[in-house]
Structure 1
Amino acid sequence: MSFLRTCILTLFISSCINYYSLATSIAPDSFADLVTKVSPSVVNISTTQKATHKAGQNGFLFPHGSPFEEFNELFERFGIIPGWEPEDTERFISSLGSGFIIDPKGYIVTNQHVIADADEITVILNDESKYKAEIIGSDPKTDLAVIKIKSDKIFPFLKFANSEEAKVGDWIIAIGNPFGLGGSVTAGIISAKARDIQAGNFDEFIQTDAAINKGNSGGPMIDINGNVIGINTAIYSPSGGNVGISFAIPSSFASPIIEQIKKTGKVKRGWIGVIVHPVTEEIADSLGLKEARGAIVTEVQAGSPAETHGIKPGDVLLKFNGKQIASSRNLPRMVAGLSIGSSANIELFRDGKLKTINIKVDEVPGEAEVKKQERANNSASSVLDLLGIEVAELTLELKQQLKIDPRQPGVIITKVIKGSKASRNNLMRRDIILQANQKSVTSPAKLEEILSQVIKSKRNSILLMILRNNQKFYVGINIGEK
Structure 2
Amino acid sequence: MNTKPKTLLLGAAASAVALSAPGPSASQAPINPPPAARAGVTSFAEIVERVAPAVVSVETKRQVAVRFPTIPGFPFELFPDRGARPPTAEGRAAGAGFFISADGYIVTNNHVVADATEITVTLKDQRELKARVVGRDEPTDLAVLKVEGRDFPYVSFSNAATPRVGDWVIAVGNPFGLGGTATAGIVSAYGRNIGSTFVDYIQIDAPINRGNSGGPTFDAHGRVIGVNTAIFSPSGGNVGIGFAVPAEVADRVTRDLIAHGRIERGYVGANVQTLTSEMAETLGLGARKGVLVAEVTPGGPGDRAGLQSGDVVLRVDGRTTENASRLTRAVAAARPGDRLRFEVLRDGAPRSLEVRVELRPSERELAGLPQQEGQPGDGPGARLGLAVAPLDELTRRRRELPPDITGVVVQSVDPASDAARKGLRSGDVIVRVNERRIARPSDLADAVAAASSSGRTSVLVFVHRERGRLAVPVRLIGAKDDGRPAP
- TM-score of the pair, normalised by structure 1: 0.72
Q: 1:429: Cα distance to partner?
A: 4.2
More helix by share: 1
Q: Secondary structure at the match of 1:135?
A: strand
Larger Rg: 1
Contact 1:164 1:252 in 2 (8 A): no
Supply the distance in 2 between the matched residues of 1:164 and 1:181 (Cα, whole angstroms).
32
Equivalent residue number for residue 245 of structure 1: 241
Equivalent residue number for residue 216 of structure 1: 212
Q: 1:220: Cα distance to partner?
A: 0.8
Supply the distance in 1 between the matched residues of 2:462 and 2:118 (Cα, whole angstroms).
41
Provide Cα deviations, 1:265-309, integer angstroms capped at 9, x if missing partner: 222221011123564665333211335964422332344332343
Q: 1:356 to 1:436 in 2, by over 3 A?
A: farther
Q: State percent identity of aligned pairs.
A: 37
Equivalent residue number for residue 308 of structure 2: 312
Equivalent residue number for residue 48 of structure 2: 35
Equivalent residue number for residue 226 of structure 1: 222
Q: 1:459 to 1:204 in 2, by over 3 A?
A: farther
Give unpaired runs (5+ residues) of structure 2: 1-35, 71-86, 480-485
Contact 2:386 2:412 in 1 (8 A): yes
Supply the distance in 2 between the matched residues of 1:361 and 1:25 (Cα, whole angstroms).
52
Q: 1:49 to 1:452 in 2, by over 3 A?
A: closer
Where do residues 401-440 of structure 1 align in structure 2 (5 Å cutoff)?
404-417=401-414, 428-435=425-432
**2:88 paired with 1:106:** no
Q: 1:397: Cα distance to partner?
A: 6.6
Contact 2:197 2:328 in 1 (8 A): yes
Q: Secondary structure at the match of 1:109?
A: strand
Equivalent residue number for residue 392 of structure 1: 389
Provide Cα deviations, 1:405-430, integer angstroms capped at 9, x if missing partner: 24533322222335658569875544
Contact 1:47 1:122 in 2 (8 A): yes
Q: 1:25: Cα distance to partner?
A: 12
Supply the distance in 1 between the matched residues of 2:449 and 2:176 (Cα, whole angstroms).
48
Q: 1:373 to 1:426 in 2, by over 3 A?
A: closer
Provide Cα deviations, 1:19-63, integer angstroms capped at 9, x if missing partner: xxxx98998612233333422322222334578999xx999xxxx
Where do residues 133-148 of structure 1 align in structure 2 (5 Å cutoff)?
133-148=131-146
Provide Cα deviations, 1:212-249, integer angstroms capped at 9, x if missing partner: 01111110112233322221111222332211111112
RMSD: 4.4
**2:60 paired with 1:47:** yes
Equivalent residue number for residue 177 of structure 1: 174
**2:357 paired with 1:361:** yes
Q: 1:27 to 1:373 in 2, by over 3 A?
A: farther
Q: Secondary structure at the match of 1:39?
A: helix
Give unpaired runs (5+ residues) of structure 1: 1-22, 60-88
Q: 1:395: Cα distance to partner?
A: 5.4
Supply the distance in 2 between the matched residues of 1:116 and 1:435 (Cα, whole angstroms).
29
Provide Cα deviations, 1:370-429, integer angstroms capped at 9, x if missing partner: 499446998965444244321234456755665532453332222233565856987554
Q: 1:358: Cα distance to partner?
A: 4.8
Equivalent residue number for residue 160 of structure 1: 157
Partner amino acid, structure 2, of 1:258: T
Equivalent residue number for residue 337 of structure 2: 341
Equivalent residue number for residue 149 of structure 1: 147
Where do residues 459-470 of structure 1 align in structure 2 (5 Å cutoff)?
460=454, 465-468=462-465, 470=467
Provide Cα deviations, 1:75-112, integer angstroms capped at 9, x if missing partner: xxxxxxxxxxxxxx998654322111112221111112
Supply the distance in 1 between the matched residues of 2:303 and 2:358 (Cα, whole angstroms).
12
Highest RCO, 1 vs 2 (Cα 8 Å, sep ≥ 6): 2
Report the count of equivalent residues: 422
Q: Secondary structure at the match of 2:335?
A: coil
Provide Cα deviations, 1:336-367, integer angstroms capped at 9, x if missing partner: 34333344454433222454545443212599
Q: 1:448 to 1:346 in 2, by over 3 A?
A: same
- TM-score of the pair, normalised by structure 2: 0.71
Contact 2:383 2:448 in 1 (8 A): no
Supply the distance in 2 between the matched residues of 1:141 and 1:195 (Cα, whole angstroms).
15
| Higher alpha-carbon deviation: 172-181 or 354-363 | 354-363
Q: Secondary structure at the match of 1:253?
A: helix
| Higher alpha-carbon deviation: 339-348 or 30-39 | 339-348
> 2:441 pairs with 426, 442, 447, which one?
447
